[in-house]
Amino acid sequence: MASTATDNTVFPHGSPRDSGHIPGAVMIPNESIGTEQPEKLPDFNQVILIYCRSGNRSKQASQKLADMGYTHIYEFGGIMDWNGEIVTSE
């Protein structure tokens, strides 16, 4: 896995202040994902890597996006599982 977000969309949906985030990530709160396509995710066939702090919200968001029709969703759990660069607010 790459150490930064590139052509793939990576987004945390918890607070980036909690544990940091992957550079270049598109941040979309899990609570804002409903039944309508998020503006930041225009392509239902794009690769979407999903994570949060511990993995709970990423599972929820992955299911919501799959139910919406997104086809290439990869949920990898929590930021604590990421071995690449992390940006923190500190």
Annotation marks residue 15 as catalytic: no
Catalytic residue among 5, 33, 52, 73: 52
Q: Tokens for 13?
A: 């949906």
For 69: left if phi > 0, alpha if psi spans -120 to 50, otherwise beta; the answer is left
- How far is 59 from 28, CA to CA, in rounded Å? 14
Query: Mind telling me the catalytic residues?
Result: 52
